[in-house]
Amino acid sequence: MGERMAAAGIQELLDRGQLPIALEDGLSQVDLALTGSLPPLAIPARLDLPALRRHGPLALLRELLAEGSGQTASQGPEALAKLAPTERRTRLLAVIAQGVGEVLEHPDPAAIPGDTEFLVLGFDSLTAVELGSWLAATTGIRLPSTAVFDHPTPSALADHLSACLDQPERAPAPTIATVGMLFEELREAMRQGRLAQGLERLAQFAAKRPTFAPDAAEGHAPAPSWSRQERDRPLLICLNSFLPARANLTYQRLGRELKGHYDMATLPLPGYDNGPLPASAEAVAVALAHAVEACAAGRPFTLLGFSTGGLVAYAVAELLQQRGIHPAALCLIDTYPPAAMRSAVLKEVLSDWLESRSDFWSTDDDGLSAMAYYLELFGRWSPLPLEAPVLLLQAEQASAAGASDTWPQLWPRLTQVVKTSGRHFALLSDEVQQTAQHLILVLADYSGAAS
């Protein structure tokens, strides 16, 4: 697991006092656990005690050691299951609030409204896993690592926990998403060097799904996921890429880095949640343009898209321009234009994605077929010149397949190209701080954000 974590995630664990365990040592601890040689509650860990002390008293460890008032016993699954529904829900909300406070070091978690989205609070993939582990240790209810995003508010999560308590046998929750048939087919096609055929198979599956036309597209406008919505900063509206994910986490780390500079909303693409797919690039542009206008509500805004999300953002900007609406700027983060999306480039990007697979990527058939469908849809699309400034942040470490510096010239009328350190996916993970700094500086002249 550790070898797949970004540097920022590893550093966060080190800062919290958790030191890495060598593979051989970790496996030996697993062997001990399987032979029953360890006590019922055992946590194999290497701890940096000075770092732990800097974070103050550790409530979770106090509870595990049964110190204090005995609150943990009253929060166990049997005790919670015996409570009346209203009292149980109130208790679970309090437990979740306590967990949020522990994980995020929130100053007043009890004051968080129950309908506040965890994404708005600042949860990312790492802290989501931490909260799930904290709740499991506190309540005895095992949760999948994606529970915070599958049940996106404290109220929704409390309802889910309550439903788990009503089950006669509380079996451990699965920790990874179901792998669909198409995922295995795509992976095998890539192993055999048949990426085009693999994507064609996914597209054939998508062709059987229902679609919506441009004149019905507004009814399929997606709801935004806000990471900040205070209306006291310029507005940044981000469009998801074609890669399927189980939650709107693509821009979560970037949002944390930009928090003092922008209000920020993310829009998912239609068709990734078993709903109908857009019949054309125009249909998806109409649906998303409607969502963008609803997000902006008359405010100036900047559009942003990472990777293939930049293609959609550009198409939306084109449609808005026809309506007389112009974003302050359009920012593309390492987005190849359709003319440069050669098979070799796609293969390298998809290979990196498959290697970085985690619980937060979706591998179900709906998401994968939607990805292939959008790739085919925008493979036939050509960008037109925009009146708004178009800015490109380009990864310095280009893939071997797309190493040429000439591909940005295929975008019509680029205003500025800025190179930033890292490979494609690293721009929003390991190198996200550098990416955010470039964005703040580049967009300051257009969005009104303070640099």
Question: What 8-state DSSP symbol labels residue 29?
Answer: H
pLDDT in tens, 139-165: 888 887 778 888 889 999 999 999 988
The CATH superfamily of 181-447 is: Alpha/Beta hydrolase fold, catalytic domain (3.40.50.1820)
Comparing CA positions, the residue from 336, 443, 324, 325 lying closest to residue 383 is 336
Between the CA atoms of 221, 223, 226 and 232, what dihedral angle is there, to the nearest 10 degrees?
A: 60
Residue type, 188: E
d(CA 180, CA 319): 35
d(CA 161, CA 143): 9
Comparing CA positions, the residue from 230, 287, 297 lying closest to residue 260 is 230
Residue type, 269: L
75-175: CATH topology: 1.10.1200
Q: Residue 28 — pLDDT band, cuts 50, 70, 90?
A: low
In the numeric block, which tokens belong to residue 273? 């949640």
- Residue 309: the pLDDT is 96
Between the CA atoms of 176, 250, 223 and 312, what dihedral angle is there, to the nearest 10 degrees?
A: -120
Burial (Cβ within 10 Å: 0-12, 13-18, ≥19) of residue 136: middle
- Residue 224: the pLDDT is 93
Burial (Cβ within 10 Å: 0-12, 13-18, ≥19) of residue 166: exposed
Question: What 8-state DSSP symbol labels residue 395?
Answer: E
Question: 80-84, 375-379, 432-436: lowest mean pLDDT where?
Answer: 80-84
Query: Which one has a higher pLDDT value, 216 or 128?
Result: 216
Query: Which one has a higher pLDDT value, 70 or 357?
Result: 357
User: Under a CB-based contact definition with an 8 Å cutoff, are residues 442 and 331 in contact?
Assistant: yes
User: Under a CB-based contact definition with an 8 Å cutoff, are residues 239 and 265 in contact?
Assistant: no
Q: Residue 232 — pLDDT band, cuts 50, 70, 90?
A: confident
- Residue 92: the pLDDT is 93
| 118-132, 184-198, 284-298: which is most confident | 284-298
Comparing CA positions, the residue from 316, 435, 443, 448 lying closest to residue 6 is 435
- Residue 418: the pLDDT is 95
Percent of the chain with pLDDT over 90: 40
Domain parsing of the chain, residue ranges = 1-68, 75-175, 181-447
What predicted TM-score, i.e. pTM, was given to this entire model? 0.71
- Residue 123: the pLDDT is 84
Comparing CA positions, the residue from 321, 219, 337, 364 lying closest to residue 278 is 219
Between the CA atoms of 112, 95, 124 and 120, what dihedral angle is there, to the nearest 10 degrees?
A: -10
First to last CA, the chain: 37
d(CA 123, CA 130): 10
- Residue 152: the pLDDT is 87
In the predicted model, what is the mean pLDDT of the chain? 82
Instruction: Give me the mean pLDDT over the 402-407 stretch.
Output: 67
